[in-house]
Chain A
């Protein structure tokens, strides 16, 4: 493809070596607190503990999905990695090297790590046109030799994100474009600097349903063609499955579970992951739909000879509407289904932050945070149900053996073995 040639000539990031198997971007025990308000004269300053002890690694040509509800800290993680925020603690390593501070270093870093924002209606400056947005990205990193050259490269970029005919789009302003087209411009802008890592923060959630898949497919293609490493942030676990090889689940600023996507989605281990999966809209498992309310239409339908909907084990089986069960006790004590909402991150619950909502909560859960437990196949979780590697006297020999194993190998070692 001619546009790819252009890119190789002028955009090829010189010093990036893409070795498979080695993480290109790593976050090690990242922590971020946002201080609240101005200087506090008395007592400890309050802060939002947005992200705590988060580690992850991105690999060339692979996507890692970060799944969680709003307020789970997933966007903060991405913005830390994009260096839009300074981490309070922990380390970011690009190709194994600590990402240095300072204007020059940050700009060099941004040449390799780019960010795609969620809202294409807000991430493009309304007063600037397409040419400006893409041209600035090219110029800033010194890829442009002349005005002609710039135009050629912008057109090539537009074609790469399927905005054709590119000549029609180059002089448009954001308000003249639809949501999907704007997001493509935003993607083109991040591609302009020739990055090796793309941090995509819910790149399709603001788009119309019918064009989401188009944009997702575009990102998939870029991932494969350019061996880009993706951090794919989403609240939609089904699109994580569609897009990413690896999935991490975050809850209230902490990682709770992670591993190969199929493993995590088909065999969720952490109670929160289970909750999240059971809540995801999924027409394939509509077994929970009320039998009582079956209308005449339904009955007629069930007579027709076509293959019925899957009636397999439903994740929603336990989700009896609480009101029906016990009007005065809406929580429905017997239901494994947990009501409630994520905690405030100003004073998060001690220990495992999920314990106030967890149906399996034990006393230890509120005392300290469970350590990482490896479940095999690269699947891990932070939950006392699966032992935490540091339990006291009550543990079984088997558990002790497992925990010894976790302590001996560091997390990154395990990751690499599994790959």
Chain B
């Protein structure tokens, strides 16, 4: 395939060396009824090589729509109405050898090829390019493993089919070997190769799906609630394995779930979505220790703990917003205990927090109005929050 590419200048490429996927101001609307529903609203983020980016949010927060948009799997009435999704391949996609990385795991990015690395705009790919792109560069694992496997095909056939479709040069025996290798990779014994989906347990099926996703060594795997339907023990199993595979194969993951406590264990970087927008993005450590957005704080406090003092927790009052009827200004305002005038007027932008100290007291967040002195960016470089509490004006107006 010949992707739509452009030569990057050397300067730009060194700067973007670790970047893999960049989503810029993405908008997705559902065009039903009288007015479009903004399912994804001005979402921007960057995924780095080998990174696990967690997307957390409740139902209707737009997290799955975002995943579908990145893979361009959206059907009408969902339409991408704006934005860019840029992909920075490791090398020319056309020259990729599908199996090199499993047989000899490489650890670092290529060095001299990097200057000529092209950029792919996913939204501009033709259907043919898209097909190749989807398996080779980007794979998807959905929640319902039960439905993703074809019930009348043997596991082997399904894996081999993927290999055959995208790698016609592979021989029959080679494909078989590769299928075996993939299954071993995800911890399925070779005797399962001849099984049908219904003969496998839920966990096994999800593993098989991951194996198929890995078949062509994608750079990115998007996982949409991959373990929600599974039991905790199986879920843990698969996640541990995923982490190990990530170490070995160095793919990046966009991990979508509603379970923030799970995400904190898996993800490097966590983005929290609410009503179609990212309201906070931070490394997992920062988010866990120092949640900034009141919604993130509420979410973190919605999970009872296994340790420590047992106390009555409060959760978040109210219910998730109806996307057809998002309140003006900050969508979280009706449920926010700290909302003030400005929250209803303007949508807060996702930005580096200007205010450093916001206490998390017994009653919740207690902004004390102290501005960050000196270098606000040092600690918060990876942290972005969309909340007026953290912008200068916001605190100024707060009593």
Contact = CB atoms under 8 A, between A and B. Distances in A.
Interface residues of B, number: 63
A178 B320 contact: yes
A282 B232 CA distance: 11
Given A208-B320, A321-B241, A322-B244, A309 B285 contact: yes
B306 A321 contact: no
Interface residues of A, number: 62
A236 B258 CA distance: 14
Interface string A67-97: 0011000000000000000000000000000
Given A281-B259, A283-B288, A211 B319 contact: yes
Contacts of A306: 289-290
B92 interface: no
A209 B285 contact: no
Given A278-B236, A283-B261, A214 B308 contact: no
A236 B247 CA distance: 29
A276 interface: yes
Interface in B87-115: none
Contacts of B395: none
A241 B304 contact: yes
Contact of A276 (B58, B232, B303, B314): B232
A40 B264 CA distance: 51
A290 interface: yes
B333 to A, nearest CB: 15
Contact of A321 (B243, B260, B302): B243
Pick the most buried of A213, A235, A241, A283: most chain B CB atoms within 10 A of its CB.
Answer: A283
Contact of B305 (A282, A289, A292, A295): A282
Interface string A241-259: 1100000000000000000
A280 B232 contact: yes
A291 to B, nearest CB: 12
Contacts of A280: 232, 306
Given A178-B320, A297-B283, A238 B312 contact: no
Contacts of A282: 261, 265, 305-307
A301 B187 contact: no
A284 B308 contact: yes
B231 interface: yes
B369 to A, nearest CB: 20
Contacts of B398: none
Contact of B258 (A69, A208, A213, A275): A208
B304 A242 contact: yes
A279 interface: yes
A295 B382 CA distance: 12
A297 B58 contact: no
Interface string B296-313: 001111111111101011
Please indicate which of the listed interface residues A237, A238, A321, A322 has the most CB atoms of chain B within 10 Å of its own CB. Answer: A321
B235 interface: yes
B261 A281 contact: yes
Contacts of B302: 209-210, 212-213
Given A301-B283, A322-B241, A279 B315 contact: no
A6 interface: no
A289 B240 CA distance: 10
Interface in A46-85: 69-70
B342 interface: no
A297 B234 contact: no
Given A298-B285, A309-B288, A324-B244, A241 B303 contact: no
B237 A281 contact: no
Nearest to B322: A178
Interface in B305-344: 305-308, 310, 312-317, 319-320, 335
Given A309-B289, A323-B248, A284 B306 contact: yes
A14 interface: no
Nearest to A180: B319
Nearest to B261: A281
A277 B232 CA distance: 9
Contacts of A323: 185, 187, 241, 244-245, 248
A307 B286 CA distance: 11
Interface string A282-315: 1111100110110101101100101111100000
Given A235-B232, A341-B201, A319 B314 contact: no
A54 B306 CA distance: 26
Which 4 pairs of residues, A with B, have the shortest CB-CB distance?
A213-B315, A321-B244, A242-B304, A279-B236
Given A238-B304, A275-B233, A321-B247, 18 more contacts: A69-B233, A70-B231, A179-B59, A209-B299, A210-B299, A211-B315, A213-B313, A213-B316, A284-B308, A285-B307, A290-B243, A295-B283, A301-B283, A304-B379, A308-B289, A323-B187, A323-B241, A323-B248
Interface of A: 69-70, 178-181, 208-214, 217, 220, 235-239, 241-242, 262, 265-266, 275-286, 289-290, 292-293, 295, 297-298, 300-301, 304, 306-310, 319, 321-324, 327, 330, 339, 341-342
19 contacts: A69-B231, A208-B258, A209-B260, A209-B302, A210-B315, A211-B315, A211-B316, A217-B312, A235-B232, A281-B235, A281-B264, A284-B306, A284-B308, A286-B288, A290-B247, A297-B382, A306-B289, A324-B248, A327-B184
